[in-house]
Every structure is written in structure tokens, then in C-alpha cells.
Amino acid sequence: AQKVTQAQTEISVVEKEDVTLDCVYETRDTTYYLFWYKQPPSGELVFLIRRNSFDEQNEISGRYSWNFQKSTSSFNFTITASQVVDSAVYFCALSEVGTSYGKLTFGQGTILTVHP
């Protein structure tokens, strides 16, 4: 069975600090997809990134970067120079290709608070 673990329940930083959110996953499939979503206080789930299991290149998008390492089954998310608007709950999720309908299994989420 697939599983996603976000060990950090809450993180608190001061604006402009860098912060890394950890995500560790378990799956028996060799082909799968990993996702990060942001959930601001409004409750809407905002798609940030999708990565497939064959692409281990790190990705950078503005202040966001993602580090995918299959050897350690991790898909960590770093926010550089954090801002107050980054305060939200961040979810890591996994979808196995073998599951015909692409069910997403979510981690428990990390609450990020960025203080001014």
C-alpha cells in the first residue's frame, strides 16, 4: 500500500528565512507521481508541482524548489526567502500509475507559519 509521511507537523520561521518541508513516501510501484499542494487559510487546494518517478531532476520555480531522491524515497520542498504569504498548510501526495484512476494519497500536511 502506498503511504506518504510528512514528519514535520508545524514549522515556524521568520520572513526571509529559507525553509524545507520534508516528504517521504512508500510505494511498491516503479512508476508513480508525486505532488505538492498548498492550502492557504481560505481552504482551497493549490497545485504546486507534479513529478513522475522517472524524472529525478530537481526543479526550481521562483522561490520554490523541489528535491526528488528515489534512493531515499523523498520529495522535499524548499521555499527560499520565505514571505508571510507563504503561510499555509502544505501537502505532499502520491499517485501510483498502477491504480487505474490515479487516486491521490496525501501526507498529513505541514503547517508553515511565516512571521513578519
Burial of 101 (0-12, 13-18, 19+ CB in 10 A): exposed
What is the rounded distance in angstroms from the CA atom of residue 73 to the CA atom of residue 94? 11
Interaction of residue 63 with another protein, rule CB under 8 A = no
Count of positions (residues) in the chain: 116
Cell of 84: 508571510
Facing residues of 39 across strands? 89
Q: Which is nearer to another protein, 101 or 116 (CB)?
A: 101
Site for another protein in 72-91 (CB under 8 A): 91
Q: Which is nearer to another protein, 64 or 80 (CB)?
A: 64
* AA letter at 88: A
Site for another protein in 92-111 (CB under 8 A): 95, 97, 101-104, 106-109
Site for another protein in 18-57 (CB under 8 A): 33, 35, 37, 42-45, 47, 50, 52
Q: Interface with another protein by CB under 8 A: which residues?
A: 33, 35, 37, 42-45, 47, 50, 52, 91, 95, 97, 101-104, 106-109
